[in-house]
Structure 1
Amino acid sequence: MTPGGRGRSRQNAIYRPGALGTTPRVPTDNTELERRARSVLDARAWAYIAGGAGGGATMRANREAFDRWHIIPRMLHGTTERDLKTQVLGTDLTAPLLLAPVGAAGLVRPDADLLIAQGAHSSGIPYVFSCQGSSPMEETAQSMGGTPFWFQLYWSSDEDLVDSLIERATAAGAQALVVTLDTTMLGWRPQDLDLGSLPFARGQGIAQYTSDPRFMTLVRERLASAAAAAAEAGAQVAAKGAAGLGINPRHPVGAARAVRGGVGALLSTSREHPGDLRTNLRSPEPRAAVETFLDIYSNPALSWDHLVTLRDRTSLPVILKGVLHPDDARRALDAGVDGLVVSNHGGRQVDRSVAALDALVSIREAVGPEPTVLMDSGVRSGADLFVALALGADAALLGRPHVYGLALDGAAGVSAVIDNVLAELDLTMGLVGAASIQEITRDLLVE
């Protein structure tokens, strides 16, 4: 236990400079945090990070679910110290919080994954590496500085690539494998669609793949096949000219815009691809990597039959992320899965989906107190984390807020957001009378 607690320490770190006129670079208020992050992000980055599926009903439902629950503080409990430590599937946690995987965070800052890892390490919180990361997992693991991390897997349609990613994560030191189930195809995301913006199509967020030997074998096979087809087609392909790009010469403005867009895409894919920029600009490989990724990154046919093969493919604890129905939760645990993350992908996949917190309640009731159940989607504060724990989560994953901190102050911004969330959790525990995570129970809530 920490005398005085994490909350008072964080307050002092803010109030003392405040006496001299210095205010926090990263706001403690979540609405202001989001507002300031939006002010420094470009339209594409904001749409991808903050946007959701459809009209945003699921995102709103996630927050409304938290708003329905109220904490009942208890008085005269004499609690002066709190112990936030816990353990989940063999991973020791200094607090019941992990950073959620966020794909294509390179939209926000160069080397985003490395900066997030550094921020997580500074605050002593594990990070779940995104399969759609902007840096190879081996480099991100080094930036964790010994702080535990897990790896998120999107199940590719190429089974050898699935094995390669698992093997690399194990070799890099991941302590668990988090298989995301709810993104076998992209949801309907108007913010991205209206900008015509998909980061992966510009080579952003595919570093786990372009650093993978199996994936690059697929890329080179694609190039070889394309070269053979081009040689066979010969002059017929060249004759298509501008028509093949969909450019109408009668509309020079549209043609110029298409050319600029093409140059921008070329620069982006060349910068993101491993190797020298000048060499990449002259090579077809970066574009072929993007096309290969778009073809195979996820498997729409993913089924229970695929999941049962994991026991022969990894010794890591396996956690399924994206479970929302009690029957799916029971079936997963019966199949030998080690844990679940109750999640609707932050409202990014299915509009009008059930709120993750509501699903947590029904799943915990269905599976009982013993199985490991985490949750994400909608967690914004220490008070939210308290509610999730009281309703049965063993820990929670924090998504968008840590990316907003990244946007404002890099690794220090990530760390600040974590510290603020855990400070509020610690203070809430102290004011309610819970001396440990195990003492955060449902009888401290009312709906």
Structure 2
Amino acid sequence: MSGVLSTVAEAHSVDDLRRWAETVLPSELSDFIAGGSGTESTMAANRAALDRLTVVPRVLRGGPDADPATTLFGSRSRLPFAVAPMAYQRLFHPDGELATARAAAAAGVPFVISTLSSVTLEELAEIGGERWFQLYWLRDDAETLDLVRRAEQSGCRALMVTADVPVMGRRLRDVRNGFALPPHVRAANLRFGARSSAHETTGAGSAVAAHTRAEFHPALTWDHLDRLRSCTGLPIVVKGVLDPADAQEAAARGMDGVVVSNHGGRQLDGAVASLTVLPQIVEAVGGRCRVLMDSGIRSGADVLRAVAVGAAGVLVGRPMLWGLAADGEAGAALVLSLLGDELREAMRLSGCADLAAVRDLTTRVVC
């Protein structure tokens, strides 16, 4: 770390953990976490949008310590965020999703299990805590609905359907690295998980992208979500929404929430930054469903900004992988601790005792 840190415990920010993780991970794994699609312009836009949003703090509002607790889709959370669904976490630490799920449970925030988790739904159920399941709709409808049943049986409290991956975006870092899964990492919940095209290095680009082309449904429609709505009583959240019209459609069809997301800049390069359209989507749904946001969250101040312009909460993605790579469960727990401390401090400094007060803050976008 060039003398900056001697132990992970000395990290004071997510960026400290990112830099530490990059010293211990092979370059292709650092790229797998950090990279976006194309020129990575949307990934940069996410960060720029957050940096341009300023908050007008209130003063002389003395009161109790800030309380950022909330309820998200029936799950009580000590903080207004959940751990985002991220694939193949055993790439970054032997415990993989077991470590991040334990950290989330200890912090009292929901953990979203990816369809492409390298640990099974049933193993993660043993950890406890609030768990949601992120669903990629597969070409095989029967296997897709079997995943839903397994999620229900293992105690997941919500389903999060990712809608923005008809194909995987062209992630040039992975393409140039010829990225493929090592033999010990697999999609543990799926029939093709033990050995798949995701493991086959061909020299012709990303094996993981080839795998998703082969297995994911390429033409998902609202009819698929109507079918899902008829098959489960769990809350359904649509992830990957950027147009207010799509958010209105989700609400009209009885979806319980949307995640305003450009997949962290990993799908359509040139897509709008999530924060930029968040207020419009909140207005469009008019309270008929909850609105979360992801893409670019790196600090408690970022969480405050998102909530101030209408988000019920956010999803935290890449920071969790940096923490996991840096120090397993302890590193993942440190990320959540840092974000929680930063959020509470930001709330106190802006004169907010709770999240309702955060939503009443005035914000300004500066150019």
Q: Distance in 2 between matches of 1:92 and 1:298?
A: 32
- Structure 1 pair 165/299, CA: closer, same or farther in 2 (3 Å)? same
Give the deviation of 1:443 after TM superposition.
3.1
1:394 and 1:82 map into 2 onto residues whose CA distance is 17
Cα drift, residue 29 of structure 1: 2.6
Q: For the residues of structure 1 that align with 2:53 and 2:264, how far apart are their CA atoms?
A: 19
Comparing 330-339 with 21-30, which one deviates more in the overlay? 21-30
CA contact 2:251–2:288 (8 Å) conserved in 1: no
Contact 1:158 1:296 survives alignment (8 Å): no
2:86 counterpart of 1:168: no
Kept after mapping to 1: 8 A contact 2:114/2:134: yes
Distance in 1 between residues matched to 2:239 and 2:100, nearest whole Å: 21
1:185 counterpart (145, 167, 185): 167
Q: Which has the larger radius of gyration?
A: 1
1:350 aligns with 2:268: yes
Name the CA shift for 1:40/1:192 in 2 (closer, same or farther; >3 Å). Answer: same
Contact 1:103 1:205 in 2 (8 A): no
Q: Which residue of 1 aligns with 2:230?
A: 312
Q: How does 1:278-427 map to 2 (within 5 A)?
A: 296-427=214-345
1:140 paired residue among 96, 105, 124: 124
> Which residue matches 2:205?
none
Is the alpha carbon distance of 1:432 and 1:87 closer, same or farther for their aligned partners in structure 2, counting shifts above 3 Å? same
- CA distance, structure 1, for counterparts of residue 52 and residue 212 of structure 2: 40
Q: Kindly report which structure 2 residues correspond to 1:240-255, keeping only aligned pairs within 5 A, or say none.
A: none
| Residue 241 (structure 1) aligns with | none
Change (3 A) 1:312 1:366: closer
User: Which of these residues, 53, 65, 82, is aligned with residue 98 of structure 1?
Assistant: 82
The whole-number CA distance in structure 1 between the counterparts of 2:268 and 2:169 is 6
Q: CA deviation at 1:364?
A: 1.1
Do the aligned residues in 1 keep the contact of 2:260 with 2:278 (CA within 8 Å)?
yes
Q: Give the distance between the partners of 1:398 and 1:205, measured in 2 at CA.
A: 23
Change (3 A) 1:292 1:426: closer
Kindly tell me: are residues 328 and 300 of structure 1, through their superposed partners in 2, closer, same or farther at Cα, counting changes over 3 Å?
same
TM-score, normalised on structure 1?
0.75
Could you tell me how far apart the structure 1 residues matched to 2:324 and 2:116 are? 17
**Alignment deviations for residues 241-267 of structure 1 (CA, whole Å, 9 cap, x no partner):** xxxxxxxxxxxxxxxxxxxx98x99xx
Deviation string 1:33-75 (CA, Å, 9 cap, x unpaired) is 2211111111221121111101110110000000111122222
Per-residue deviation, 1:368: 2.1
Q: What amino acid does structure 2 have at the position aligned with 1:69?
A: L
Distance in 2 of aligned mates of 1:65 and 1:122: 31
The separation in 2 between residues aligned to 1:205 and 1:71, in whole angstroms, is 43
Q: CA deviation at 1:209?
A: 0.6
Residues 8 and 20 in structure 2, CA contact (< 8 A), matched pair in contact too: no
What does residue 135 of structure 2 align with? 153
* Aligned 8 A contact 1:25 1:409 in 2: no
CA shift at 1:293, angstroms?
6.1
Alignment of 1:248-263 (within 5 A): none
Unaligned runs of 5+ in 2: 203-207
Give the 5 Å matches for 1:81-96: 81-96=65-80
% of aligned pairs identical?
40
1:296 Cα offset (Å): 4.9
What's the secondary structure of 1:341's corresponding residue?
Answer: strand
Q: Which moved more, 1:119-128 or 1:77-86?
A: 77-86
Could you give the per-residue CA deviations for residues 267-315 of structure 1, whole angstroms, max 9, x where no partner exists? Answer: xxxxxxxxxxxxxxxxxxxxxxx99965653100111121110122211
* 1:101/1:152 contact within 8 Å kept: yes
SS of the counterpart of 1:440?
helix
Q: Which residue in 1 is equivalent to 2:54?
A: 70
Structure 2 length-normalised TM: 0.90
Question: Residues 86, 391 of structure 1: CA spacing in aligned structure 2 closer, same or farther, 3 A cutoff?
Answer: same
1:195 and 1:390 mapped to 2: Cα distance?
Answer: 39
Closer/same/farther in 2, CA of residues 150 and 347 from structure 1, 3 Å limit: same
Structure 1: runs of 5+ lacking an equivalent: 1-20, 223-260, 266-289
2:102 to 111, 118, 136: 118
Shift in Å at residue 98 of structure 1? Answer: 0.4
Distance 1:133 1:205 in 2: 8
- Give the Cα–Cα distance (whole angstroms) in 2 for the partners of residues 51 and 85 of structure 1: 32
From the two aligned structures, give the one with the greater helix fraction. Answer: 1
